[in-house]
A = this chain, B = another copy of it.
């Protein structure tokens, strides 16, 4: 079985593994106050062009989102997010478990627009009964989104402007941030993101690290006591240097960008194979997740050799599925898949596969 079901099927990039081995017997203080964490922070500040940013390392995405959001909101406030947002659907109510509602905005492609945020904000404050409703307290976006789409610089600037106007911190979930930045559609850099967001995180788990997410806090007002929050939410890793070593390796000389680029190239090969062979795509993704719409029999056939995720039923005979690539995706596996996609067409020669 060749796995495209997600972007965390392997361990760690070999250079990261090498560094973990080299440093294994060293003794360092715990909880992330070691020199590796310090170095990793400096590299990330440099990449973000944000020397005053506070950087913290956590283990996983749900933990990171929860810690950030719980740290920012007062009890009567909620997090504004796309209805497709990870915090809105796939974190088992972790945000609600800290007492906060996720205020959802409609979205088909995973993105939300500045106009929507402004309308929701105005609707709240113009309602005479607003004290009976959850107050919008921050805006959460993912880039790339859970659907593989990415924000353009113009879109992010517009969002950022509205958020600052409404005094709503803008929080960006970057679990797959590298793959978003590597998208051919993206005109954003880490420095842009640092300029436009109040808090964001740089995902390591899905991009070369064994595990780990780097939180970047830009807004000074949100920096206070964040380590207490990490500890309370269970994210303060005893051997914190493991996170520092990994992020140092990812950012010392551009490894993060390099392996992100590889994953996206692999994804585009898959995308093209589906499109050229007459399949539609559920979302117009140019990052590492691809969502072709397949007939049920194609799903069964490809499923014998490849693992991928069911996404959603489209009609009685079609469903969309998700293929993920990653830093670890082997080109020969993608080439094999491309051939099999082609073969599927030749064998079936059926319009029924295409909508």
Chain A binding surface SS class: loop
Question: Which A38-89 residues sit within 8 Å CB-CB of chain B?
Answer: 59-64, 66-67, 70-71, 74-76, 78, 89
Shortest distance in angstroms between A175's beta carbon and chain B's nearest beta carbon?
Answer: 9
Interface size range of chain A in the complex: 35 or more
- Contact across chains for A92 and B232 when beta carbons are under 8 A apart: yes
Number of copies: 4
Bound-state Cα–Cα, A205 to B229, Å: 21
Contact A239/B205 with A24-B10, A24-B11, A24-B12 known, Cβ cut-off 8 Å: yes
- Contact across chains for B132 and A242 when beta carbons are under 8 A apart: no
Say yes or no for A233: interface residue by CB 8 A criterion.
yes
Say yes or no for A221: interface residue by CB 8 A criterion.
no
Bound-state Cα–Cα, A240 to B273, Å: 31
Q: Which residues of B contact A11 (CB under 8 A)?
A: 20, 23-26, 239, 242
- Contact across chains for B90 and A129 when beta carbons are under 8 A apart: yes
Q: Mark A21-37, 1 if CB is under 8 A from B, else 0.
A: 10111111110000000
Q: From the candidates B6, B25, B64, B76, name the one contacting A225 in the complex (CB within 8 A).
A: B76
Say yes or no for A133: interface residue by CB 8 A criterion.
yes
Say yes or no for A271: interface residue by CB 8 A criterion.
no
Residues of A within 8 A of B (CB): 1-3, 5-6, 8-12, 14, 17, 20-21, 23-30, 59-64, 66-67, 70-71, 74-76, 78, 89-94, 96-102, 128-129, 131-135, 205-206, 210-211, 225, 227-229, 231-239, 242, 307, 310, 328
